[in-house]
Structure 1
Amino acid sequence: MLPADLRAAEAQALEALAAALGDDPKGRWTVDWRFEGLRLLPVVLRLSEQLQVLQTQGQGANEQPFKVLFPDAGAC
């Protein structure tokens, strides 16, 4: 089922990423959000902060530092 709004989509993405990082922290993952007029930077910063909190709490993330990468709008 699709999320009703951006915050719900962020929560689902965070849950999925935390589970993926807890199972096998190797690899790359992508998140696709299709919201018209979406500004990526605020979303990416919130997601990064939440992942760092999970990492310090030891929930679903390993001890390795992570990087959040995303293309700029001109790369699409």
Structure 2
Amino acid sequence: MTEAGRAVLQMARHALGVKHVRAGHFVDNPASGRVLTKLGFRPTGAVVPRHSRARDAEVPCAVFELDLDEGRMCDVKMAA
């Protein structure tokens, strides 16, 4: 998942000119938070309700941000 995320972030930065990305994960899924951290995202400390289609309910979501101009994207090796 980290490789795919990095590829999307590189495309967003270089092809689309995106400078800032906000993402989140449901707080009961810390593995997704680890993926965001590996990609260089920083937690904002905010937790907001987001709708989960699978649960058909509002679920707490931890918010992360990444400034693509800072060059904080991690160096994840791409599979050949």
Which structure has greater helix proportion? Answer: 1
Report TM bin, short chain.
0.3 to 0.5
- TM-score of the pair, normalised by structure 1: 0.39
Which structure has greater strand proportion? Answer: 2
- TM-score of the pair, normalised by structure 2: 0.37
